[in-house]
């Protein structure tokens, strides 16, 4: 029975992590800064290579409330996160995958960003939270590719 319980817990954990990551795009696109920041732990970090290194929920919310993101929403945008590969280890996990940001240019959607992502998560108070997310454009850099490596 213990083996079955462990397998069920792992499935539930993976589903919770996938749901958490999938909620990022809709929250970003509707400008729900506080709800998006609540995906992170209190002292979580969000590093976007060449753009930002936000530490803590207020700074992470500030990325959504900032002028750049507000203009992106005004133009029309979609943050799409692909499936993630999840490595579980008890109360911590790592998820790796891609993200794409599309922007409306007045006539059609254009690809604004294609990035590699590494999410580090922890079970905190019975639920999963992001402790760190690193995001880097896939422009041929080895550092960006490394984010996808198991």
Position 35 scores a pLDDT of 98
The predicted structure's pLDDT at residue 47: 95
Indicate whether 2 pLDDT > 90.
Answer: no
This prediction's pTM: 0.95
Count of CB atoms situated within 10 Å of the CB of 44: 24
Mean pLDDT of the chain: 97
Closest-CA residue to 52 (of 146, 136, 126): 136
- Which whole number is the average pLDDT over 21-34? 98
d(CA 31, CA 122): 25
What's the rounded Cα separation, in Å, for the pair 134 and 144? 9
Tell me the per-residue pLDDT of 70-88, one tens digit each, with 9 for 90 and over.
Answer: 999 999 999 999 999 999 9
- Number of domains making up the chain: 1
Q: What is the CATH number of the domain that holds 55?
A: 3.10.450.50
User: Residues 42-46: what's their mean pLDDT?
Assistant: 98
Residues 6+ positions from 85 with CB-CB distance below 8 Å: 95, 96, 97, 150
pLDDT at res. 82: 93
Q: In the predicted model, is pLDDT for residue 8 greater than 90?
A: yes
Q: Which domain holds residue 118?
A: 2-146
pLDDT digits (tens, 9 = 90+) for 117-136: 999 999 999 999 999 999 99
Band of residue 115 on the pLDDT scale cut at 50, 70, 90 = very high
């Amino acid at each position: 029975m213990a083996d079955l319980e462990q397998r069920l817990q792992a499935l539930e954990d993976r589903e919770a992590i996938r749901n958490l990551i999938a909620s990022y795009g809709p929250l970003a696109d509707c400008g729900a800064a506080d709800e998006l920041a609540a995906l992170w732990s209190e002292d979580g970090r969000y590093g976007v290579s060449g753009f930002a290194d936000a530490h803590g929920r207020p700074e992470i919310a500030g990325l959504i409330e900032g002028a750049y993101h507000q203009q992106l929403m005004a133009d029309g945008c979609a943050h799409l996160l692909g499936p993630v590969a999840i490595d579980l280890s008890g109360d911590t996990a790592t998820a790796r995958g891609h993200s794409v940001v599309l922007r409306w240019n007045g006539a059609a959607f254009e690809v604004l960003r294609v990035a590699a992502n590494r999410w580090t998560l922890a079970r905190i108070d019975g639920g999963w939270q992001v402790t760190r997310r690193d995001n880097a454009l896939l422009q041929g850099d080895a550092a960006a590719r490394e984010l996808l490596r198991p």
